[in-house]
Structure 1
Amino acid sequence: MKVLAITGIRSEYFILQPILEEVQSRENVELKLIVTGTHLSAVHGNTYKIIENDGFNIIKLESLLSSDSLEGRCKSIGIQMMGLTDIVVREKPDWLLVLGDREESISTATVGTYLNIPVAHVCGGDRVVGNIDDSIRHAVTKLAHLHFPTTEENGERILKMGEEPWRVNVVGNPSLDSIRKQPDLSYEYINNKLGINIKEDEPFILLIKHPLSSEISEAAEQMRVTLEAVSELGYETVITYPNSDAGGFEMIGVINEFVQKYDFINAFKTIPKDLFTNLQRKAALLLGNSSSGLLEAPFLKLPVVNVGNRQKQRQHSENIIFVTHDKEQIKKAIETAIRDEEFISVCQNCSNPYGDGYSAKRIVDTLFNTEINQRLLNKQITY
């Protein structure tokens, strides 16, 4: 069997990685990984090097325009689809494997459908209001042939879209597999690797904030308000750059202003998974609007302050405080996450709807036991 997987951004690769490792561990399987999007961008840290170091056989596909606009993102999809078509025709895979709700997922699902190659889609059925990712995710579901949602609720949502029940397999969130496997690293090791100064007896903030497609014109000011709250509190803060969505460049500009002004604020284009996981384990809270606050933080019992509308109405645990882009609200929520013993206790005992950290084996077992035939390729709607 030959599997061709596609990845376009750091965060999505970290979720996909345990599945790729499981595929690669099987006998009589050839795995190749198409690396595209921000992975090939110096602005975002050239994260294809992380993938190469992980030992995967990669195919590079340049698709990302140096743009901070909706038009640029749309054109990038077109470039990606043209290159992806040529690669898929050349490689002749049995399966296409993709995750999530970004350019690479809709490109892959479209190409696979038109070329009669089955598409396995991980993390479908999720719900996020106010972002184009939500529409893309559900569009991919209607194109893909096999679904691996992370929760029962998400699986039910896929069924309500008219997908045949035998195609839907609730497996949990694969990123938890990776977290479970990561060894504990010392504060000294992390500080030496990243050039920061976090301490075991002092709280620090991990900040990840992305632009929202429906609020692009506000992206820079939203980042500024968040960082003003952080700067006034004075806690050591570690930031990773936003993704490639429109508005991201302006947010990076604001981040760099604060990094230059405050020595307790440190920013990175990207952070290797082992270091990032250990930052998640050791942080007092995760601040911003990253999906990791919902998908991974409950597994780690990590308090989260989610700022703004991104992630609103998404399935989540009790470890999250939702606030608007109001400086005083943000400051109060940060102090609650760090100081409020009752809330900290809630986080330590919070539920986790996203699985047990053993998703990859479930996905690969199902993938390899699904016969590729006309029943699989010719989708039927159930209503």
Structure 2
Amino acid sequence: MKKILAVTGIRSEYFILQPIFEELTKRNDIRLKVVVTGTHLSPLHGNTYKLIENDGYNLIKLETLLSSDLLSGRCKSVGIQLMGLTDIVLREKPDWLMVLGDREESITTATVGTYMNIPVAHICGGDRVVGNIDDSVRHAVTKLAHLHFPTTRENGDRILKMGEEPWRVNVVGNPALDSIRKQENLSYDYINNRLGTNLKEEKPFILLIKHPLSSEIEEAENQMRVTLEAVSELGYSTIITYPNSDAGGYDMIRVIKEFERKYSFIKAFETLPRDIFVNLQRKAALLLGNSSSGILEAPFLKLPVVNVGNRQKQRQHAENIIFVPHEKEKIKESIEKAIFDKDFIELCKNCINPYGDGYSGERIARIIAETEINNELINKQIIY
């Protein structure tokens, strides 16, 4: 019986990890506990630990998020998290640590595992995203982690170029697609009753998810304002989820609340349940903003995406994405193209998804369970 301690700090990350958790709990040779930290314990971001709790997982709470909208606040949160996670690992004595991506919990988990000789399984390494601290963190975690699960062949090749031993690198696809594949279809009536909205099948609506960029935090407020000015002038029903906890997020939320008060067709939520979110992705005319969902999940759903600004630029993507700057008229033109351009809509319907087939969770669970924990695993070699 191997004990796995998985760490998650934000809702989008959990949506990707949950299919892995589900497969791990099916096995009789694995025992899973989940450390919830970061925005999961934040009322401002919807107390999303409750979603994980309702899914039946055994939780350990680690409160680390400072009430700050500054880069220094995020840095201090890393220190708090590192101390707290060290104590948890000392108490729980896991065989494996598991973490995803490129945020605070990624670097703290990888650091704790490396210093305490506990193997770290890293999901979604090898990505390339320009202009954000997440890119540097992700690659740093790769150099600390012991087993890698990139989502695409290109990302796997990038990990190999970093000098990682090939046997450590397992290209598995994006586990979030497992959740989408398994999620039942919900009716418009059901969604409207849950959200208090008035969405209709015959009327296009926009799903908007926009986060601040660490290299552009002074511009975050204006970037959200320009995007919402474009939305408000077009007048389509728009569902917004709040940005993440990065510096600049508070400014964005203030703008969202301002526009929500002013326009009845704009509706914002701190967070959304997974079943609702997946079905909104299925039914939306487009995904607007700069969320990784547009890169990782939208091509699986053949969903048009308008990606505004530099976040997600140069990340591997399918043909369903229009990249535009923070210019109101160009955003409006791109939204209209995504809704009405038949050629582009057909292109989206036939786009090639580079992120897998929706069966990643079982692959990851099996590889972790079957990997022997020994000196070869713990003592990493750099092969370049």
Tell me whether the two structures share a fold, i.e. TM-score over 0.5.
yes
What SS is found at the alignment partner of 1:33? strand
What SS is found at the alignment partner of 2:264? coil
- Aligned amino acid, residue 323 of structure 1: V
Question: For 1:382 and 1:199, how far apart are their aligned partners in 2?
Answer: 56
| C-alpha deviation, 1:28, in angstroms | 3.3
- Aligned amino acid, residue 251 of structure 2: E
Give the gaps of 5 or more residues in structure 1: none
- Alignment-derived partner of residue 237 in structure 1: 238
- Alignment-derived partner of residue 75 in structure 2: 74
- Alignment-derived partner of residue 361 in structure 2: 360
Question: For 1:329 and 1:286, how far apart are their aligned partners in 2?
Answer: 16
- Alignment-derived partner of residue 371 in structure 1: 372
- Aligned amino acid, residue 260 of structure 1: R
Aligned residue runs from structure 1 range 1-383, under 5 A: 1-383=2-384
- Aligned amino acid, residue 355 of structure 1: G
RMSD of aligned alpha carbons: 0.4
- Aligned amino acid, residue 154 of structure 2: E
| C-alpha deviation, 1:308, in angstroms | 0.2
| C-alpha deviation, 1:65, in angstroms | 0.1
Give the gaps of 5 or more residues in structure 2: none
| C-alpha deviation, 1:29, in angstroms | 2.1
Query: Structure 1, residues 125-156: CA drift from partner, whole Å, max 9, x if none?
Result: 00000000000000000000000000000000
Whether contact under 8 Å (2:29, 2:369) holds in the other structure is no
Query: Structure 1, residues 197-223: CA drift from partner, whole Å, max 9, x if none?
Result: 110000000000000000000000000
Q: What count of residue pairs does the alignment treat as equivalent? A: 383
| C-alpha deviation, 1:170, in angstroms | 0.1
Question: For 1:13 and 1:101, how far apart are their aligned partners in 2?
Answer: 13
- Aligned amino acid, residue 25 of structure 1: K
| C-alpha deviation, 1:371, in angstroms | 0.4
Question: For 1:222 and 1:39, how far apart are their aligned partners in 2?
Answer: 25
Query: Structure 1, residues 305-364: CA drift from partner, whole Å, max 9, x if none?
Result: 000000000000000000000000000000000000000000000000000000011111
What SS is found at the alignment partner of 2:44? coil
Question: For 1:28 and 1:149, how far apart are their aligned partners in 2?
Answer: 24
Question: For 2:316 and 2:157, how far apart are their aligned partners in 1?
Answer: 13
Query: Structure 1, residues 220-270: CA drift from partner, whole Å, max 9, x if none?
Result: 000000000000000000000000000000000000000000000000000
What SS is found at the alignment partner of 2:79? helix
Question: For 1:234 and 1:216, how far apart are their aligned partners in 2?
Answer: 28
What SS is found at the alignment partner of 1:351? coil
- Aligned amino acid, residue 242 of structure 1: P
Question: For 2:198 and 2:104, how far apart are their aligned partners in 1?
Answer: 36
| C-alpha deviation, 1:113, in angstroms | 0.3
Question: For 1:232 and 1:123, how far apart are their aligned partners in 2?
Answer: 37
Question: For 2:29 and 2:234, how far apart are their aligned partners in 1?
Answer: 55
- Aligned amino acid, residue 137 of structure 2: I
Question: For 2:31 and 2:290, how far apart are their aligned partners in 1?
Answer: 37
| C-alpha deviation, 1:369, in angstroms | 1.0
**Runs of 4+, deviation exceeding 4 Å:** none
What SS is found at the alignment partner of 2:99? strand
What SS is found at the alignment partner of 1:250? helix
TM-score by length of 2: 0.99
- Aligned amino acid, residue 321 of structure 1: I
- Aligned amino acid, residue 144 of structure 1: A
TM-score by length of 1: 1.00
Whether contact under 8 Å (2:30, 2:369) holds in the other structure is no
Question: For 2:155 and 2:304, how far apart are their aligned partners in 1?
Answer: 23
- Aligned amino acid, residue 28 of structure 2: E
Identity %: 78
Question: For 1:100 and 1:226, how far apart are their aligned partners in 2?
Answer: 27
What SS is found at the alignment partner of 1:43? helix
